[in-house]
Amino acid sequence: MAIPCLPLFGSEKLSMEAGPLSPLSSPPQVVLTQDELKKIAAYKAVEFVQSGMVLGLGTGSTAKHAVDRIADLLRKGKLKNIIGIPTSKKTHQQALSLGIPLSDLDSHPIVDLAIDGADEVDSDLNLVKGRGGSLLREKMIESACKKFVVIVDESKLVSHIGANGAMPVEIVPFCWKFTQERLQQLFDYASCMAKLRTNSGGNGEPFVTDNGNYIVDLYFKKDIGDLRAASDAILRLAGVVEHGMFLGMATTVIVAGELGVTIKNK
């Protein structure tokens, strides 16, 4: 998705002798792609990073830019003594290839700062995460951090959780159809459709998380209401490992959009 953004011009003067302005003389419109907006938000988030920190390294297309930026600052000597804790195997491989020193929660149970993207953000800074499949490790690491900075483009802002796509639930493979049916019944009042996530290759095989589990995506036609109650109800179901609602966890949300960068604090 391309979002237009007007460029900033200095004291550029137009010649009066040039006659009437033609369409070509109008300031050109700068178009920022969705990925460019993600990069802007990611770079802004990295400004929160200080030398000596233990960092939670997020997963996904937005968080990737933050990891790249952290590695760049380490190479330039502008950051030192950083330890990263990756939220997925994919981020682990990325950070390792960039030379970021890595560890885990066993060795560093308290994380200074985590930077990650989100699939949805509501007005109370509640999130949906996990459409990339890494919600369990993300939640483990980001619930252990002192500060959790979320980076998104403005397309991720929603009126309510579940308004703009799937809310993922990680489940054990054993009798997954049984668990899927119970999840759908749980949200009958919101006209929920529960669907097992399959591999993108189209072979119909279940998508398997880094933890060896499956994901059931919940699609809601109506607002599910009390998020805390919904969270508790999901987690009470045997067979459920974790869900993709991150409630009250984000301390700062950085939104890149048409009018620039907006920072929202909890």
Residues recognised as catalytic: 138
Length of the chain: 266
Nearest to 114 by CA among 139, 96, 90: 139
Burial class (CB in 10 A: 0-12, 13-18, 19+), 97: exposed
Tokens read off for 168 = 């993922």
Sort strands 111-116 and 54-57 into parallel, antiparallel or unpaired: parallel
Helices 61-75 & 34-46 angle (0-180, nearest 10): 50
Alpha-carbon Rg for the chain in angstroms:
21
| Spatial separation of the C-alpha atoms in residues 148 and 164, rounded to whole Å | 23
Q: What long-range pairs does 28-35 form, CB within 8 A, spacing at least 24?
A: 29/4, 29/5, 30/4, 30/5, 30/6, 31/2, 31/3, 31/4, 31/5, 32/2, 32/3, 32/4, 32/5, 32/258, 33/1, 33/2, 33/3, 34/1, 34/2, 34/3, 34/153, 34/155, 35/61
